[in-house]
Amino acid sequence: MPALPALSAFATPKSAQFHAVSLSVAAVAGIATLGVTSVMLPPPAMFLGWAAFNLAGDDLRGGLANTVSHLLGLALGAGTALLIGAMTPALGLLATPLAVIGVVIVVLSLREVAPINNPLAYFLGLTSFFYSGLAPSASTLAVLGSAAVIGGAACAVAAFAQDAVARAGEVRHA
């Protein structure tokens, strides 16, 4: 069995900065998770909001646009669920695929609506809604949307923390 690397292998300035960045992001994620669970919001919805915020765009404006796209995806998910419910008595099993075709056409058409034109963020919103298993209602959208916004805000804070750690490392090792 190979020997474990010496502890000094993990203490180089570059790797120390790497670990500091990882720790700062993990701390933000832990605090955000504590926040959402303490107010009974679903942590998976928070992490989907985090992912949506971070999909594209390297600035706050891009992250906010992605978050709006995600929230609109939640609303589209609720609307699609209502449409499926309305069409099922007449169409049976065809209701779901037809509704999905319709919502995908809408989402892909929104690629032309800058800046809220990130299909992946919309699909994360749809995924958050459908994976929650909750009924399509205003309260469901409020719960999932609140968790998503907290996730997006946590992602922004984590990005700020990463930048601060990187700047501190540059100053210290200049």
Per-residue model confidence as pLDDT tens for the chain (174 residues): 566 555 555 555 557 777 888 898 999 999 999 999 999 999 999 999 999 999 876 788 999 999 999 999 999 999 999 999 999 999 999 999 999 999 999 999 999 999 999 999 999 999 999 999 999 999 999 999 999 999 999 999 999 988 888 777 665 544
Residue 157 lies in a domain: yes
Which pLDDT value is given to residue 173?
A: 42
Question: What is the Cα Rg of the chain in Å?
Answer: 20
Which structural domain, as residue segments, surrounds residue 132?
Answer: 72-173
How many structural domains compose the chain?
1
Residue 82 lies in a domain: yes
Encoded amino acid at 64, one letter: L
Residue 26 lies in a domain: no
Which pLDDT value is given to residue 3?
A: 61
Residue 145 lies in a domain: yes
Give Cβ neighbours of residue 132 (< 8 Å, ≥ 6 apart): 42, 45, 140, 144
Which pLDDT value is given to residue 12?
A: 54
Residue 164 lies in a domain: yes
Residue 33 lies in a domain: no
Give Cβ neighbours of residue 155 (< 8 Å, ≥ 6 apart): 49, 50, 53, 54, 63
Residue 89 lies in a domain: yes
Residue 113 lies in a domain: yes
